[in-house]
Structure 1
């Protein structure tokens, strides 16, 4: 994929504060004169948002890990074609709340031994990695407490409980080592301003290197 923009993804366990920090980073970059596209996964395009409703709502056992992997890949492909690729080609900064690393964790490791399948599907149908991935790391118990406190409709994965969150945290930290060139791990136990400051520093560095 040809791109002149910068692709930033945010990752972390449920309740890690990603959505808040994604919005804060977007506003910061806009004040610096950047053209920013804020999006999320699953979702970000009409077709992908329809799939989002299928995978994030309902009983925890509604789908197998294998079916989830196919659904998430289909949503990501539509998102890539209709929003991410055109925005990057236009030189914009794309900030995405979750991307392929979440599928590597939720379906690839924590919900089944499917990492190889996830990676093969990714290579075949997606073929894109972010330029920078911000991982907000925090305690799984606190993260789940925050996530459940939202009381929204999209709680299917939170309903798997603390054991999934613990496995996710370990898996994300392992991914940060595996893909060390693009990952930056941020201490999510700080107050929101401290987290935001660390994220801005990482993004400013990535932008300077991208020029």
Structure 2
């Protein structure tokens, strides 16, 4: 079995663009753990929280989407179940006058990424007040998924590279400027081979279903 490894980027290492305000020094820190499904994000997030806590740091953990905890997370669950697609009036029209190669967008992957990404961004916006409070108190926040997950999952719907990069910039503006959520101080990416992540997902599903 191939081994996994991680890499990280710090926003402080990125060049400041002309006209971009300099980042202010904050009392606390926001560390984000990202990776594909089945890469072990949840496990590594909890391990990091435990380790930092034992070292005497005040640590808080966030997990996105916040299923069962936020308005937008409930909407995300409905979106993933395929409840949101095209307006019913348009569906009725297309049933009578179908267009070649056009579906109703009832599947999550068929919903316009600019629309579906608003749900995930809104989920983070709901807790931004609490996150800012923790940071002001000097706490370290460890987040399982953050803005990069929104970019990856929704951006995968866009095949054109130029349009995808345009979408990524739009996401950054939406989350960090419009919703003004905290920017991470450190992003850790977990790199795991696809075959390994698929096996981990299989084990997780079996565990949740009560199989050994």
Q: TM-score, normalised by structure 2?
A: 0.62
**Which residue of 2 is the match for residue 141 of structure 1?**
195
Distance across 2 between alignment mates of 1:110 and 1:78: 25
Matched residue SS, 2:205? coil
1:50 to 49, 53, 74: 74
Cα deviation 1:79-102 (Å, max 9, x = unaligned): 212x21111111111000011111
Cα deviation 1:112-141 (Å, max 9, x = unaligned): 233233123123223532111111111123
Q: How many residues align?
A: 151
Distance across 1 between alignment mates of 2:137 and 2:131: 10
**Which residue of 1 is the match for residue 46 of structure 2?**
23
- List alignment gaps of at least 5 residues for structure 2: 1-23, 83-106, 159-163, 207-212
**Which residue of 1 is the match for residue 157 of structure 2?**
111
Higher RCO (C-alpha under 8 Å, 6+ residues apart) = 2
In the TM superposition, 1:52-71 aligns within 5 A as 52-57=76-81, 60-61=108-109, 63-71=111-119
- Paired residues of 2:73 and 2:119 also in contact (CA < 8 A): no
In the TM superposition, 1:49-198 aligns within 5 A as 49-57=73-81, 60-61=108-109, 63-81=111-129, 83-107=130-154, 109-112=155-158, 113=164, 114-122=167-175, 123-126=177-180, 128-151=182-205
Q: What is the aligned-residue RMSD (CA, Å)?
A: 2.6
Q: TM-score, normalised by structure 1?
A: 0.62
Q: 1:148 to 1:5 in 2, by over 3 A?
A: same
The answer to whether 1:12 aligns with 2:35 is yes
